Structure 1
């Protein structure tokens, strides 16, 4: 279906979290908005994510008895993002992030709630908080979208239960205790009963959580404001009127068509995680090509911006945000990528080893720091192998990768090559290509301390963040337990990205900049098309979605506040 009009006030390219935020804000301000999405779904990678939004000094912290200040956040960021690059953008983020949350809750369907206990990733640094800076989306009933529910990108199947049931982070402990605790058993029974009823009228569960709930709420906001969304369409070029971006040229089916934008265009196409050329140019060789992002993130926004002389922000300590990932075959023949973020690495009874069979990292560090350690250990060597190692007690209690806890039939994962099993450590070492003596020595040394709840080599479980990711019921250290009970298991993990940090240079109004620092009139960017304000550092959970929503909001407000007279003449002349 082609757009209903030849001219809009604002055109947004990309229907991820940042793009939909910009569109929702512009529409709430009374502008006519068109969103162009290259796939058949809204949500982008955000729809697969945990949906965490990092906004320091947000007003909702008071609801859970926590306090914060911009001064504390500045102090924390100065210790975790020490580079001067993008300091002005970080200041804009801290100043306007809480404003963005308040605006979205007052004018859209977005509803966020504070996560009381979710520490910053470097809790020992000055200005860190134990929680509250992280906001999560309130659960959403997908049936409110009506027929449009089918256009919301489904969550990854590996993060659902029973073929399509989403659960929130508070449900997970109860599901693990089902059958052991009456309260947990009743809660699990209620969740499953509700899901069964939902499946009578929907192809998947309609109680949405995490990033799927955030994407759904943004989508509902667009629908309520009658924002047009053009699916399965590619933007071929940006239209120019003098030195101003005045619209786009789209390819929809076999037709090219110009569409004018009176006020401007917002680039929000999701970065370049799946562009092989840009990855080879900008990523370290040891990173390989695994990505936990949506496959539509192929650098479209960067290429469009380059045509109008936009500057690329390469001032990043890391070109991406990293996560260790295991790879597996799906039933349809595609390759699945499972990001090992919080479900297994920090739990007691698993370690990570390198190609020599030795530990190389504190497994309970943030996913980003974990992969930085992989890249350092790999010393630039492509496809260097790394493994998570555990025993049967761990696999049963916590699962591993996409293998869920209490899984009896693990042999199918062995048959697919995803999981490696052996009756003893020597055979496991042989199967993963390391010296049996090396792996055995690693386990023996680890176990000697682990039996007393210590990790003498890396200090695992030494911070509140690490303990938060562990198993609080395991004493004395929620992150440490010996590896003792055969059979033993290994799962190969790879460096993968959660999103790119290199993107276009923008100013505090989300306007795309040229190399000389001047803004390109009529062109804005947000999300991963915009260079990371954290310079590739990862200070806390939600540090991609927090800036994405904030700068999407800033872009939408700036486009609405601009002078209509100064913005429309060129667009009207070409419409």
Structure 2
């Protein structure tokens, strides 16, 4: 027998929220744990995310007075996810999720969330849906508490010009020119910026706050994290996973996992060959907002063990605008503002622009036709929208960067017909689309796609308008940017059970192997019930896997 270079009870692959939660839970339950991270930064896609978690009936919702129940949550999951996912796994999420949130609240000093009032479930009108939302987000965190370790954290580098804001605050700041609460919230954020300048305070929000809180908790629990350590292969004995080979700083190391290996390695968004093999076409790794390094490294080795896979043709869809040579802009709030519409290559609307982002991407693929392509689509807005709302990370009234106009990423026209000429579509068709849209917008009723009828549609809209997400596109000049079917991660992967155990194709578990997050087939199936329905399950089943291992005999 070759000797081990290192030995732990639990070895976790991947350092996002799911992986850190798994390793932290293992330590808190008395097991030794190691996180191995392929890149030289910890945090994964979780660091780049909004940081919210969607876990129905959790302690923070209870404290906020939200009257959620298991019955309501089950009704909603059944209405949205349906029977695409086994009932035992759905129920495990709804029972163990609140348990995970409470456990981390009670057993750490730092993992803290607060309710986001009004951030609607994505299908609030469905049975059990909540128009006021179920999501909670991490409290703003001072990165200075991490000491030098903060230099190893993946940063989102959002274009906010030094201003740090959480999701609830952004929702208000987006209306800085329209509401008093927008102005008041902006002042609060400005004071936070001044504090950071003059006191050394290093605030982080969203996914950075979540990862910072989890990493500090793991540091205090004495859990290890190895960066620049890439998974290579499993070590097995008698059909059971007993450890793994990894390449650490160019050297192969053997790491024993006495209780088990927990995979939290993310999906395959950055692997163009795997995208071509599994995802709908067209597809491009340049469209993803997932963290670098997510190339599906654990997939081939797991298939060699006989692991089953599912949902490989699905992504966590994220309609995106990708300037040449730059990172994608994930269009979330941008699609909820008024004075804006999205058209296909023939100059026609084909979707409610404000629908949940994964549904938008699904519709892009479903409606894509040679004579009316939707990949790319075109997001069109007028100068009034540009003056009033945040768009592509630019504050109200801030001009588009000159390079975007010069390289053709942003098209500009004084009339709808002129804009159509810039894009390369029929001027008469686009002009007719403008005219119909504006007639409906004047009345505040979208007869074609019902934009603004759902509470979710209205969340990012303008509350001063009759229909918060609908207003005419009438003030020249007009702008258009291409929109592609991007993603925040792939959602297909290894099939797991209610204990997060990786299952073979025959349904039996592979001993010693567990998975959570985007390397596993999503518990949300083909849909996306609410803000944080990616991170919530990743953390929950990381907690479930570590708890299961803690209960087993060595």
**Partner secondary structure for residue 345 of structure 2:** coil
Distance 1:47 1:106, change over 3 A: same
* Alignment partner, residue 448 of structure 1: 439
Instruction: Quote how far apart the aligned CAs of 1:255 are.
Output: 1.6
* Alignment partner, residue 102 of structure 2: 102
Structure 2 CA distance, aligned partners of 1:137 and 1:78? 27
TM-score normalized with structure 2 length: 0.94
* Alignment partner, residue 486 of structure 1: 476
Distance 1:146 1:59, change over 3 A: same
**Partner secondary structure for residue 378 of structure 1:** coil
Distance 1:86 1:344, change over 3 A: same
**Partner secondary structure for residue 235 of structure 1:** strand
Instruction: Quote how far apart the aligned CAs of 1:86 are.
Output: 2.6
Instruction: Quote how far apart the aligned CAs of 1:45 are.
Output: 0.7
Instruction: Quote how far apart the aligned CAs of 1:400 are.
Output: 2.7
Distance 1:300 1:207, change over 3 A: same
Instruction: Quote how far apart the aligned CAs of 1:5 are.
Output: 6.4
> Where in structure 2 are there 5+ consecutive unaligned residues?
none
* Alignment partner, residue 171 of structure 1: 169
Checking the alignment, whether the CA contact within 8 Å between 2:394 and 2:400 is kept in structure 1 is no
Tell me if 1:270 matches 2:266: yes
Tell me if 1:301 matches 2:298: yes
Checking the alignment, whether the CA contact within 8 Å between 1:250 and 1:258 is kept in structure 2 is yes
- 1:414-460: CA deviations, max 9, x gaps? 12432111111111101111100000000001111111222121111
* Alignment partner, residue 568 of structure 1: none
Structure 2 CA distance, aligned partners of 1:81 and 1:453? 32
Distance 1:33 1:461, change over 3 A: same
- Root mean square deviation of aligned Cα: 2.2
Tell me if 1:282 matches 2:278: yes
* Alignment partner, residue 531 of structure 1: 521
Tell me if 1:392 matches 2:383: yes
Structure 2 residue corresponding to 1:292, chosen from 286, 289, 292: 289
Structure 2 CA distance, aligned partners of 1:267 and 1:35? 10
Structure 1 CA distance, aligned partners of 2:181 and 2:134? 30
Checking the alignment, whether the CA contact within 8 Å between 2:243 and 2:257 is kept in structure 1 is yes
**Partner secondary structure for residue 328 of structure 1:** coil
User: Which aligned pairs between 1:4-403 and structure 2 lie closer than 5 A?
Assistant: 6-108=6-108, 109-158=110-159, 161-162=160-161, 164-172=162-170, 175=173, 188-189=186-187, 191-199=189-197, 206-289=202-285, 290-314=287-311, 319-329=314-324, 334-341=325-332, 343-379=333-369, 384-403=375-394
TM-score normalized with structure 1 length: 0.91
Deviates more, 1:375-384 or 1:115-124: 375-384
Checking the alignment, whether the CA contact within 8 Å between 1:247 and 1:258 is kept in structure 2 is yes
> Where in structure 1 are there 5+ consecutive unaligned residues?
565-575
Distance 1:561 1:38, change over 3 A: same
Structure 1 CA distance, aligned partners of 2:176 and 2:527? 39
Instruction: Quote how far apart the aligned CAs of 1:189 are.
Output: 4.6
Instruction: Quote how far apart the aligned CAs of 1:538 are.
Output: 1.2
Instruction: Quote how far apart the aligned CAs of 1:179 are.
Output: 8.3
Deviates more, 1:72-81 or 1:32-41: 72-81
Instruction: Quote how far apart the aligned CAs of 1:529 are.
Output: 1.0
Structure 2 CA distance, aligned partners of 1:182 and 1:517? 57
Structure 2 CA distance, aligned partners of 1:494 and 1:61? 35
**Partner secondary structure for residue 449 of structure 2:** coil
Checking the alignment, whether the CA contact within 8 Å between 2:120 and 2:455 is kept in structure 1 is yes
Structure 1 CA distance, aligned partners of 2:87 and 2:421? 50
* Alignment partner, residue 496 of structure 2: 506
Distance 1:387 1:182, change over 3 A: closer
Structure 2 CA distance, aligned partners of 1:5 and 1:382? 54
Structure 1 CA distance, aligned partners of 2:340 and 2:178? 24
